[in-house]
Chains A and B, each alone.
Chain A
Amino acid sequence: AQSVTQPDIHITVSEGASLELRCNYSYGATPYLFWYVQSPGQGLQLLLKYFSGDTLVQGIKGFEAEFKRSQSSFNLRKPSVHWSDAAEYFCAVGSGGITGGGNKLTFGTGTQLKVEL
């Protein structure tokens, strides 16, 4: 069964500092990986996705993530954090239709990001 681990429940960074959120996955085939962000009272917004090809993917809002198969990781990075980035971030792995069930997402438990001004 697929699974996702986000080891950091809370992270606090200063505005302007760099950010890295960790994500490790377990999946038996080529994973389909996603990062979503959730602001309070709102749904999930897709930041970026990886399906194949270049292992460094660019997303919205200046975020990027790097897929490392050898480490089963898909860490999210941003060079300079803005106060508006404070939110909860979720890493997810999709079944990719292999099981015939569409792209069901399995989510990590999320990382709450706080930005200090």
Chain B
Amino acid sequence: GAGVSQSPSNKVTEKGKDVELRCDPISGHTALYWYRQSLGQGLEFLIYFQGNSAPDKSGLPSDRFSAERTGGSVSTLTIQRTQQEDSAVYLCASSLGQYNQPQHFGDGTRLSIL
């Protein structure tokens, strides 16, 4: 496919469990972003990857959240010991990397913590 692909599209899990969310960016895009969309907080930046540089983790809400990007392509966002306030839609975006290149978003993963 030509767009950003995220999986799963929906995830329901119990409080305290760990979850992994996957993002497959557009081929050739060197920049990858994770955002969170929740009712209380709106759309928030979480983390940013650019090429081989150290990621910008300034938006991660707690140390339970982490992300990695393997081989400069696929990224995984991991949430450990999930809490109910983690329930949200997690959106991934990718771009060509230069500041003036627009970000292309996936359809998101809807995460529900019971």
Contact = CB atoms under 8 A, between A and B. Distances in A.
A102 B107 contact: no
Contacts of A51: 100
B4 interface: yes
Chain B interface size, as a band, is 20 to 34
Interface in B70-114: 91, 93, 95, 97-108
Contacts of B101: 103
Interface residues of A, number: 28
B13 to A, nearest CB: 20
Contacts of B100: 32, 51, 96, 103
Contacts of A106: 45
A43 B4 contact: yes
Given A44-B105, A102-B56, A104-B33, A32 B99 contact: yes
A43 B106 contact: yes
A43 B91 contact: yes
Interface in A97-117: 97, 100-110
Contacts of A97: 98-99
Interface of A: 32, 34, 36, 41-46, 49, 51, 90, 92, 94-97, 100-110
Which residue of B50, B103, B106 has the most chain A CB atoms within 10 A of its CB atom?
Answer: B103
B44 to A, nearest CB: 8
Contacts of A101: 48, 56, 58
A103 B105 contact: no
Given A43-B91, A44-B105, A102-B50, A94 B59 contact: no
B43 interface: yes
A110 B42 contact: yes
B6 to A, nearest CB: 8
Given A43-B105, A103-B99, 18 more contacts: A41-B107, A43-B93, A43-B107, A43-B108, A44-B91, A45-B105, A46-B104, A51-B100, A92-B43, A96-B99, A101-B56, A101-B58, A102-B33, A102-B97, A102-B99, A105-B33, A105-B35, A105-B103
